[in-house]
A and B are shown apart, each in its own frame.
Chain A
Amino acid sequence: MTQSNRLNGGLINRDASLSFTFDGKSYQGYEGDTLASALLANGVRLMGRSFKYHRPRGPLTAGSEEPNALVELRSGGRQEPNTRATVAELYDGLSANSQNRWPSLERDFMAINDRFSNFLTAGFYYKTFMWPKAFWEKLYEPIIRKAAGLGSLTGEDDPDHYDKGFLHCDLLIIGAGPTGLAAALTAGRAGAQVILADEDFRMGGRLIAETGALADISGADWVDQALAELASMNNVRVMPRTTVFGAYDHGIYGAVERNADHLIAPEADKPRQTLWRIYSKRALIATGAIERPIAFENNDRPGILLAGAVRSYANRWAATPAQSVVVFANNDDAHQTARDLMAQGIKVPAIVDTRPDAADVEGIEVLKGAEIINTSGRLGLTSVQVRTEKGYTTDLYCEALAMSGGWNPNLGLTCHQRGRPVWSADIHAFVPGEGLPVGQIVAGAAKGEMSTEAALQGGAAAAVAALGDLGITASPVDLPAAADAPVSISPFWHVKGAKRAWLDYQNDVTVKDVKLAHQENFTSVEHLKRYTTLGMATDQGKTSNVGALAVMAELTGKSIRDTGTTIFRPPYTPVAMGAFGGRAVGKDFHPTRLTPSHKWAEEQGAVFVEVGNWLRAQWFPRKGETHWRQSVDREVLQTRNSVGVCDVTTLGKIDVQGADAAAFLNMVYSNAFAKLPVGKVRYGLMLREDGIAYDDGTTARFAEDHFVVTTTTANAVLVYRNMEFVRQCLCPDMDVQLISTTEAWAQYAVAGPNSRKLLQKIVDPDFDISNEAFPFMGCGEITVCGGLRARLFRISFSGELAYEIAVPTRYGDGLMRALMEAGEEFDVVPYGTEALGVMRIEKGHATGNELNGTTTALNLGMARMVSAKKDCIGNVLSRREGLNTPDALALVGLKPVDTNETVTAGGHLMNATGPVDAAHDQGYVTSAAYSPILESSIGLGFVKGGSDRMGEKLRLVNPLESQEVMVEIVSAHFLDPEGEKLRA
């Protein structure tokens, strides 16, 4: 197909012809085109269907504010719905499809909605789908969502990479039009760190869309010169294709850079988009202005565009929506559209100007004081109906209409910290008001200064002022002479009597809907927005808000100033979720922590479990084992019968040193540490301020002023943070220093009756680890394997004779291999977290399941560990009456009366007889396991007054799964209650 509407000139590269398809049909465009400009050049005006009424639509604008021309770009995993054809940069092989239509764009069955528009007004859903209530979720909402909605998701994984990063600058300039470029040149020459970002792929703003914006040089040439100079400055970062979408706290801005959206696919390993967090000392909003439409009957047909957009298409892209274009406006600016089109040989039958005193334009009839009252053309404009000042109506044949109701400063980013725009009677638009985000300044058209001259001068002056605040001296640069005509505009919002006159094209909100909202008393702007859906969806009302406010103002008899405006929230334009995710997707969603024996465990075929960020071996399957229980039972039995080794590096290790180290531990732990001898380990319980148990672990004393505290794996960071808080804030006078050594030491539990014999083969002979020389709860610094420094602790989580041995992490892999080799004669077994859990339940040791944020030392059977002789965190509140009732929950063991039955964690306990309900709750099960030693399922749990109820039978219930098991209360220490094994 020929490019029948392609004009001469423009900023496209005619040497680079690009092929693309729209709805399966092939077209040609040029490098520098957008999808919209290329389609217009090919004579295609119809590009989409509207949201609610499925009205045929073409592009209204030439920028990111586009409400109509939304398409599905690409296919497969890369399919992207709701892409604005007006900003989709053309590339060779681009494929786009129209959306929200069936079966085709030209014949859309859902266009039947348009016939029922009298019913489908604002509030239709709220009024119609009220009854029966139960139908909403199952029936009405799914149907409505299917009928409405825009593009569709592919459902496939996005194959592309996204990246993110952080940038810093003195001055962030948002928008590279005349304002932004003048500011960037000024700040760049002054040596400031500058970032110049623009959402467009070609910088220049209106300078590259207008003819004659500058007096002595073409806008595009001056832009090229300016960009060339900026590119030569090391202190200036020029970022085209970068949308600054949000203004956040402290001068931080969010921006998305589209690195590869203009390519058919990103290069391998390269990001498609990059999300930048920009830390700016000052930010200049140079985002220009957005033209607004006029509301008149059927003002939404394909071919009806904003006048400035028609100029952009003609001047920048050498494309026209049609060969015959009428102009409809209330201001002088739109007259330029007529002149530019005429110069390109396009027929302009007339300018319809609402102002009786409008200026004349040479060579074109100006219908002064006239209005367009209706239009014709089902799939594209064919004529407009004009009512002249004297009241006659006449039809003008045209295939496009260029309309302009004036320009609104593009002030979205000024509102992101709740800044409220204020009404300017001079330009009949809202301009940025008070309460701008910290460090933000506005210049040029975004500030309401609408001439090119004002934009250039304002941009330079803003840069000088902003840098002055930062102590950087800058002087304004020489700028080209530019048009400086005063704004000539008479407010004109909608043609009187028009009903189906679109205000919000994207949400199908018409003048009639605003009137209905008013009639039903939704007159506040915020209510208006929510009742009619005005200003919602992907365009966020960029072209619609002010027009609707004007209609509401008229209806309420208030001024627009008094009617007020809604404000904008981030993002300025839609941002892909992939960009927010950046590199953090899939298994890289969060960092992983690997234990020192990880590589060895992988070689053993270990099954891993995530514990926080750690990957821990859960069990080590052996050949022939088909069920995890077989592996776990074997690991438990082999450990209890001989010896097992488990990587316990993940437990937090905090080095506590200083003259007051002991006093500090006395403060953070409920039990006393001051008298712990050097070379000994003590179990400690830590409380929260409110007296609830927080964490537990062992603390070893290596010197008078040196302790090593261990914490649970899950709480390692929290405990360290808590201890730092105590050190820095609660006890700043104490002489104590903390540092984490969790990662510095590889630590293994060596447990079982043969553990000492095994260690004696590893520990150097200089160190006596016999029971007498190195008794239970001893610790010491030793050497192993011929001189490697190590730490040995005689502590036991399993209840067996056991040790924990630590070496510098780089040797952890080697030590595991050495232990396995030395242990061969004892049939040593590596065990995972599952066997670790079984053995600690058999022994009745509490973990996070029991220290669950609701239990006290009393509940845990450790009341005596809260020393009354000293103060500690949580001490006072642990004595609260309510926490110390005679029937307080107590930790007990539970076993099924019938050993074939299973104890399940999470179930609640009820008396043997009586009701099963919350009022009769006796407690709950926290941990459960199958004990291969006892050959029975066992559990730990909390029972009211449990210590005095040994032998009593309770029902363990799980009403959700209709389970009921009779269990007996026993000691939590199923195994070796006197602790003979661990002292052996």
Chain B
Amino acid sequence: MHKLKPITPLGGDTPRVDTVGSITITEVVDQALASVAARNDQAGAVQKALADKIGLSLPEVGQSSQAAPYAALWMGPEQWMVMAPHDSHELLAAELKQIVADTASVSEQTDGWCRFDVQGAGLCDLFERLSNAPVRTMGSGTAIRTTAEHLGVFLWRLAEDHMAVLGPRSSAASLHHGLLAAAKSIA
């Protein structure tokens, strides 16, 4: 085991949790990410390989899919973001590359992103201040690639009262500030 100590996107030793009114904002770090982009004319093969090997069916536009411990978000044409718990799947990209072989390009994205899980009543009131995504009509399982606070983000609705936001890691503090400010606005 290597001896380097990780820090969170907000620069802490442990993930930060903020509660404002009914809203809780939690920094999530136990997450490994890898992008899977189908090679030309191989989308079917990629989907089949992942379905066969890990039971994960890749989602349609604006959707997510889950096959514990894996999950996937639609990211672009024939491109998906696959995720799994970091502590047990730190080498997720390599793991997926073995499965898809030359049918897809796989790229480690784990630390390209920060994630905040926002939970509580009034979620839509909060997110309609941050993003032009139609949050009120986003059902559980939808995942929209959009912008919030001038940043490219994923909004992933996990439940009625649970939204995960994935944004660029280097701007985690700015995104977090926006989430907090909006939470205070609606508190």
Binding site for B on A (CB under 8 A): 161, 163-168, 193, 269-271, 274, 277, 279, 583-584, 588, 590-595, 598-599, 613-614, 649, 655, 657-659, 705-706, 733, 735, 737, 739-746, 783-789, 807-811, 813-815, 818
Given contacts A271-B185, A593-B170, A743-B170, contact A166 B128 (CB under 8 A): yes
Q: Is the CB of A165 within 8 A of B128?
A: yes
- B119 contacts A by Cβ under 8 Å: no
Docked complex Cα distance between A815 and B171 (Å): 20
* Interface of chain A, main secondary structure: mixed
- Give the docked Cα–Cα distance between A249 and B94 (Å): 46
| A and B contact pairs by CB, cutoff 8 A, 29 listed | A163-B181, A166-B129, A167-B128, A168-B137, A193-B136, A279-B132, A588-B174, A591-B151, A591-B171, A592-B173, A594-B172, A594-B173, A657-B107, A658-B105, A705-B102, A739-B35, A739-B37, A741-B108, A743-B111, A745-B111, A785-B2, A785-B3, A786-B3, A788-B4, A808-B108, A808-B110, A810-B111, A813-B11, A818-B4
Closest 4 CB pairs of A and B: A657-B105, A814-B4, A809-B111, A591-B174
Choose among A592, A786, A818 the residue that contacts B174 (Cβ–Cβ < 8 A): A592
Beta-carbon contact of B112 and A744 below 8 Å? yes
Residues of B near A591 (CB, < 8 A) are 149-151, 171, 174-175
Q: Contact check, A166 vs B131: say whether CB atoms are below 8 A apart.
A: yes
Q: How far is A659 from B4 in the complex, measured between Cα atoms in Å? A: 35
Q: From known contacts A739-B109, A741-B112, infer whether A810 and B2 are also in contact, taking CB-CB under 8 Å.
A: no
Given A744-B109, A784-B2: A814 and B7 interface contact (C-beta under 8 Å): yes
Distance from B182 Cβ to chain A, minimum over Cβ atoms (Å): 7
Q: Which residues of A contact B108 (CB under 8 A)?
A: 741, 744, 808
**Among A741, A784, A789, A809: residue with most chain B CB under 10 A:** A809
Please report the total number of B residues contacting A with Cβ < 8 Å. 55
Q: Given A168-B136, A735-B39, A744-B108 in contact, is the A811-B150 Cβ separation under 8 Å?
A: no
Q: Which residues of A contact B4 (CB under 8 A)?
A: 784-785, 788, 807, 811, 814-815, 818
Chain A residues in 8 Å Cβ range of B173: 592, 594
Given A168-B134, A739-B35 in contact, is the A593-B171 Cβ separation under 8 Å? yes
List chain A residues, Cβ under 8 A from B112. 740-744, 809
Chain B residue nearest to A738 (CB atoms) is B37
Residues from 167 to 187 in B contacting A, C-beta threshold 8 Å: 168-175, 177-178, 181-182, 184-185, 187
Q: Is residue B5 within 8 Å, beta carbon to beta carbon, of the partner chain? A: yes
Q: Please give the distance in Å from B118's CB to the nearest CB on chain A.
A: 15
Given the known inter-chain contacts A613-B171, A658-B105, A785-B2, please indicate yes or no for A269 contacting B35, CB distance below 8 A. no
- For B156, the chain A residues whose CB sits under 8 A away are none
Q: Give residues 1-20 of B contacting A (CB, 8 Å).
A: 1-9, 11
Number of A-B contacts (CB under 8 A): 156
Q: Is B130 an interface residue (CB 8 A)?
A: yes
The reply to whether B187 and A269 contact each other, CB–CB distance below 8 Å, is: yes
Q: Which of B1, B169, B185 meets A809, CB within 8 Å?
A: B169
The residues of B that contact A742 with a CB separation of less than 8 Å are 112
Q: Does the CB pair A594–B131 fall under 8 Å? A: no
Contact present for A788 and B170 (CB under 8 Å): no
A594 with B132, Cβ < 8 A, contacts A743-B113, A785-B4 known:
no
Q: When the two chains form their complex, are residues A810 and B150 in contact, meaning their CB atoms are under 8 A apart?
A: no
Which residue among B1, B91, B136 has the maximum number of chain A CB atoms within 10 Å of its CB? Answer: B136
Chain A residue with the shortest CB-CB distance to B77: A728
Bound-complex Cα distance A655 to B128 (A): 33
Q: Would you call B6 and A814 a contact (CB within 8 A)? A: yes
Contact with B40, one of A270, A735, A810, A814 (Cβ below 8 angstroms) = A735
> CB of B29 within 8 A of chain A?
yes
B79 an interface residue at 8 Å Cβ cutoff? yes
CA distance A787 to B4 in the complex (A): 10
Q: A591-B150, A810-B6 are in contact. Are A739 and B170 (CB under 8 A)?
A: no
A655 to chain B: which residues have CB within 8 Å? 105, 107
Given A583-B181, A743-B169, A808-B111, verify A165-B130 contact (CB < 8 Å): yes
Partner of A165, one of B107, B129, B169, B172: B129
Q: Could you say which of B4, B6, B39, B91 has the most chain A C-beta atoms within 10 Å of its C-beta?
A: B4
CB nearest neighbor in B for A259:
B185
* A-side contacts of B136, CB under 8 Å: 168, 193
Distance between Cα atoms of A168 and B144 in the complex (Å): 15
A-chain residues with CB within 8 Å of residue B170 when the two chains form the complex: 593-595, 614, 649, 743
**Which residues of A have CB within 8 Å of B131?**
166
CB neighbours of B175 from chain A (8 A): 591
Decide yes or no: A739 and B2 within 8 Å by CB, A270-B184, A279-B132, A588-B177 being known contacts.
no
Docked Cα-Cα span, A165 to B129, in Å, equals: 4
Which residue of B5, B29, B39, B134 contacts A814 across the interface (Cβ within 8 Å)? B5
Max chain B C-beta neighbours (<10 A), residue from A166, A168, A658, A814: A166
Contacting residue for B7 out of A161, A599, A613, A783, CB 8 A: A599
Q: Are B5 and A269 in touch, CB under 8 angstroms?
A: no
The answer on a CB contact under 8 Å between B29 and A810 is yes
| In the complex, residue of chain A having the shortest beta-carbon distance to the beta carbon of B178 | A583
Asked whether, in the complex, the Cβ of A741 is within 8 Å of the Cβ of B1, the reply is: no
Question: When chains A and B are docked, how far (Å) is the Cα of A901 from the Cα of B168?
Answer: 46
How far apart sit A164 and B168, CA to CA, in the bound complex (Å)? 22
Q: Are B6 and A270 in contact (CB under 8 A)?
A: no
Q: Which residue on B lies nearest to A654, using beta carbons?
A: B107
User: CA–CA, A784 to B4, complex, Å?
Assistant: 9
Partner of B107, one of A274, A739, A789, A813: A739
Contacts of B40 in A (CB 8 A): 658-659, 733, 735
Residues of A within 8 A of B172 (CB): 594
Nearest chain A residue, comparing its CB with the CB of B129: A165
* CA–CA, A814 and B6, complex, Å: 7
